[in-house]
């Protein structure tokens, strides 16, 4: 996994928490695997175990399921256990990841000192940016706002040249970025016709 920044301000306040938690964006190399774990922050009770019943990776925008990872065990996982997931696609992709399952909690309360709580991140999925390689300077950590577009546009690319071609084509198809002039990607404020990616996005 790679560190990310939101791309909204300078400095460390712009960094996405790392390691990421469900609901936060994740950036990882194509074909790599992610792991799922639980962070128990509740003041009420103690986590005794957990069970990820279902984990789903879907294409962002379309909702098409890339893979679904049902829990294959029957025993509770230890509170600090990590659960390895299936491999990410072997190409660029903009996806979402969510999980639902059960938490085994010690409450200490009579008559049920141990209880089972469901959890779900269906309504707060993580964005998953599947990239070809580690982000390079000056986009390291990579910007979430840029990855949303570039991973959508380059979806399916398995090599640098295909990804570059797909992103370039999408940039041209999406037209102007300077307030509604003619439909092409140039800035009328710059005589050198330099392309400003941040302005476009």
User: Is residue 192 located within the same domain as residue 118?
Assistant: no
Cβ contacts of residue 13 below 8 Å, gap of 6+? none
Task: Kindly state whether residue 146 falls inside one of the protein's structural domains.
Answer: no
Based on the domain organization, do 85 and 9 belong to the same domain?
yes
**Are 110 and 172 contained in the same domain?**
no
* Mean pLDDT value across residues 37-63: 90
> pLDDT at residue 37 above 70?
yes
| 85 contacts: CB under 8 Å, gap ≥ 6 | 33, 34, 35, 36, 55, 57, 69
54-92 pLDDT, tens digit each: 999 999 989 999 999 999 888 999 999 999 999 999 999
9 and 107 fall within a common domain: yes
Q: In terms of domains, do 107 and 195 share one?
A: no
Rounded Cα distance between 102 and 84, Å, is 17
Query: Does 183 have pLDDT greater than 50?
Result: no
Same domain, 14 and 99: yes
Are residue 88 and residue 176 in the same domain, yes or no?
no
| Structural domain range at position 65 | 4-131
Give yes or no: residues 118 and 184 share one domain.
no
Q: Judge if 111 and 14 occupy the same domain.
A: yes
DSSP 32: -
Instruction: Domain count for the chain, please give it.
Output: 2
11 and 105 in a common domain: yes
In a domain, 154, yes or no: no
Q: What contacts 154, CB < 8 A, 6 or more positions away?
A: 92, 162, 163, 166, 167
CA gap 161, 157 in Å, rounded: 9
Alpha-carbon Rg for the chain in angstroms: 21
Residue 136 belongs to a domain: no
Give the predicted TM-score (pTM) of the model: 0.82
* Other CB atoms within 10 Å distance of the CB of residue 143: 22
Shared domain for 113 and 54, answered yes or no, is yes
Residue 65 domain flag: yes
Residue 4's pLDDT band, with cuts at 50, 70 and 90, is: very high
């Amino acid at each position: 996994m790679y560190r990310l920044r939101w791309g909204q301000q300078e400095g460390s306040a712009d960094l996405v928490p790392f390691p990421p938690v469900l609901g936060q964006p994740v950036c990882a190399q194509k074909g790599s695997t992610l792991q799922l774990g639980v962070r128990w922050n509740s003041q009420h009770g103690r986590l005794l175990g957990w069970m990820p019943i279902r984990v789903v990776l879907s294409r962002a925008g379309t909702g098409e399921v890339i893979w679904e990872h049902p829990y294959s065990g029957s025993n509770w996982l230890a509170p600090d256990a990590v659960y390895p997931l299936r491999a990410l696609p072997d190409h660029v992709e903009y996806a979402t990841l969510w999980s639902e399952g059960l938490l085994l909690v010690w409450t200490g309360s009579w008559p049920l000192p141990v209880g089972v709580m469901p959890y779900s991140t269906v309504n707060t999925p993580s964005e998953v940016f599947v990239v070809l390689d580690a982000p390079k300077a000056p986009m390291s950590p990579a910007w979430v706002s840029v990855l949303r577009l570039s991973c959508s546009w380059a979806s399916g690319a398995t090599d640098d040249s295909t990804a570059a071609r797909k992103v370039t084509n999408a940039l041209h198809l999406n037209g102007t970025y300077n307030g509604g002039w003619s439909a092409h990607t140039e800035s009328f404020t710059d005589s050198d016709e330099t392309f400003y990616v941040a302005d476009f996005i």
